[in-house]
Structure 1
Amino acid sequence: MNKFPARAGWQWVKQGMQLFRRQPGGLMALFFCCMFVSLVSMIVPLLGQIAPFILTPLFSIALLEGCAQVDQGKRALPNLLLSGFRKPSRNPLLAMGVLNLLLLVIALGVLYAMAGDAVMLMSRRPPQIDQSQLEGLLGAAFTSSTIYTVGWLLTCLAAPLIYWQKMNLNKALFFSVVAVFRGWKAFLTAAVTLHLLYFVGCRIVMLILGTSQLAVAGIFTLFLITIVLTHCTLYIAYRQIFGAPEAAKSESPQPLL
């Protein structure tokens, strides 16, 4: 694994956007399928509230496999949704989902530890929070989101390594952390670029539409597109670091059971 300069992160985002433009409808349709299954999973008794977080790596694999198919000139079809649910990758990806849930719990724990009272006041209708509490809440939210973002960045390559390289969870996490550390400038640049693109897009929508319901819908749409763009960028980064995924070249899917 080579080290990558900061400008490589910008190139990953640029190539990810080019990949997205080749089949925006197919990739977004695949993402909406993931969202639908995630919402359906919430009706499962007991596990419904945490199921979407545990299934996140499996949905991520569906999007990454879609990116690989587009990269090879094929169609990103909704049936790719099942990619991460097939053996032998399913169990390690579910374990990865449990780690994702633990990371989220830690981030939320930090948020409530730093500004629990402000969060409760903010959740009331109407919100009952003064300026000093709002500043503390913003600081706590920034710290919490930073913890989650750093954790996600360090482990972002683990799921594709499990799926495409057939690694176990521990080995995939090790290589993911090593790869991110060696190319931390590129990964940081890519993350900052994607955030800036989203927030600039939000500002443009608000300047044009104000604070109307249409503006809220536009901002939410930008958020969904940004998630797909993030996976396109992650696929480009994986391809440059570990090579083109071999699993994407196979025409015969593995059974679910």
Structure 2
Amino acid sequence: MEKLPARAGWHWIKQGWMLFRKQPGGMMALLFVCMFASFFIMLLPALGQILWCVLMPMFSIALLQGCAEIDQGRRAMPQFLLAGFRSPMRKHLLGVGALNLALMLLAMLAIYGISGDAIKTLGEAQSKGVIKPEDVEGLFSGMLTGSLIYMLGWMLTSMAAPLIFWQKMALNKALFFSVVAVLRAIKPFVSAVVILHLIYFVGVQIVILVLGVSQLGVAGIFTLFLISLVMVHCMLYTAYAQLFGPPQVEIPSQP
């Protein structure tokens, strides 16, 4: 597994975009199916949000499987939502989800540990109906630290779910190879994440400039957000294909 230059991250994004362009409707339909499933899961009382965090790898696998199908000349179908649930490796995928939940909790602890007083002050200001600029100043350091913790954890484990699903690796082995692969390709991973964030930020500014803060503008920003979610998975697929080789996708038998 050779070390890759930072520009490889840009190549992953370009290849991911070319993949998305082949079947934008299919990938967006698959994303909407995942979003609807997530919405109903989060409606469950008490455990909804926890269950959603644990099931996140299942939704990622659905989108990655769609990318693999497109890459091999087939169609991305909404039923790929069930691919992770039907896999014999689903317990290991749920283990990745449990790790994702732990990362979120760790990030939240960092936010409250650093900016707890600022959060309390902001809550009091909201109850009074008057929020001053100084009420939110203390949030920045906590939010930045929490975001960095989660982003670093997500990046290091981003290859674990596809390794489990496509190469049938156990959880511990998949996490090991994911961390090693990402660390050896840390420059392209960081550059890809930064470029995707910049593209989204610039896109949002253009939408606001053209449409303003209107209902149409909000709809445009939300559309950009959805496309960004798909592009993250298209980029992850192209990164996986370069680091570990294209996955062998089984062709479903025709009835």
TM-score grouping bracket, smaller chain normalisation: over 0.9
Alpha-carbon deviations, 1:84-110, whole Å to 9, x = none? 001312111111111101100110111
Alpha-carbon deviations, 1:157-216, whole Å to 9, x = none? 000000000001100000000000000001001000100010000000111112222222
Mean CA deviation greater in 85-94 or 126-135: 126-135
Q: Report the secondary structure of 2:76's partner residue.
A: coil
Structure 2 alignment gaps of length 5 or more: none
User: Which residue is 2:148 aligned to?
Assistant: 146
- Say which of 216, 219, 222 aligns to 2:218: 216
CA distance in 1, matches of 2:9, 2:196: 10
- Say which of 137, 148, 159 aligns to 1:135: 137
Mean CA deviation greater in 195-204 or 212-221: 212-221
Q: Relative to structure 1, is the Cα distance of residues 129 and 23 closer, same or farther in structure 2, using a 3 angstrom cutoff? A: same
Q: Residue 135 of structure 1: CA displacement? A: 2.5
- Say which of 181, 185, 201 aligns to 1:199: 201
Determine if the alignment matches structure 1 residue 35 to structure 2 residue 1: no
CA distance in 1, matches of 2:130, 2:59: 38
Determine if the alignment matches structure 1 residue 104 to structure 2 residue 104: yes
- Say which of 186, 189, 211 aligns to 2:188: 186
Structure 1 alignment gaps of length 5 or more: none
Q: Which amino acid aligns with 2:73?
A: G
Determine if the alignment matches structure 1 residue 58 to structure 2 residue 58: yes
Q: Relative to structure 1, is the Cα distance of residues 210 and 125 closer, same or farther in structure 2, using a 3 angstrom cutoff? A: farther
User: Which residue is 1:85 aligned to?
Assistant: 85
CA distance in 2, matches of 1:236, 1:85: 23
Judge conservation of contact 1:104–1:148 (CA < 8 Å) in 2: yes
CA distance in 1, matches of 2:117, 2:227: 33
Question: What is the Cα-based RMSD across aligned positions, in Å?
Answer: 1.7
User: Which residue is 1:5 aligned to?
Assistant: 5
Q: Residue 116 of structure 1: CA displacement? A: 2.0
Q: Residue 121 of structure 1: CA displacement? A: 4.3
Q: Report the secondary structure of 1:76's partner residue.
A: coil
Mean CA deviation greater in 31-40 or 155-164: 31-40
Q: Report the secondary structure of 2:204's partner residue.
A: helix
Q: Report the secondary structure of 2:44's partner residue.
A: coil
Q: Residue 218 of structure 1: CA displacement? A: 1.5
CA distance in 2, matches of 1:110, 1:252: 49
User: Which residue is 1:168 aligned to?
Assistant: 170
Q: Residue 137 of structure 1: CA displacement? A: 0.8
Mean CA deviation greater in 120-129 or 101-110: 120-129
Judge conservation of contact 1:121–1:127 (CA < 8 Å) in 2: no
Q: Which amino acid aligns with 1:213?
A: Q
Q: Residue 115 of structure 1: CA displacement? A: 1.2
Q: Residue 139 of structure 1: CA displacement? A: 2.2
User: How many residue pairs align between the two structures?
Assistant: 252
Judge conservation of contact 1:122–1:128 (CA < 8 Å) in 2: no
CA distance in 1, matches of 2:121, 2:226: 29
CA distance in 2, matches of 1:138, 1:6: 28
Judge conservation of contact 2:41–2:52 (CA < 8 Å) in 1: yes
Judge conservation of contact 2:121–2:135 (CA < 8 Å) in 1: no
Q: Residue 6 of structure 1: CA displacement? A: 0.3
Determine if the alignment matches structure 1 residue 157 to structure 2 residue 159: yes
Q: TM-score, normalised by structure 2?
A: 0.94
Q: TM-score, normalised by structure 1?
A: 0.93
User: Which residue is 1:94 aligned to?
Assistant: 94
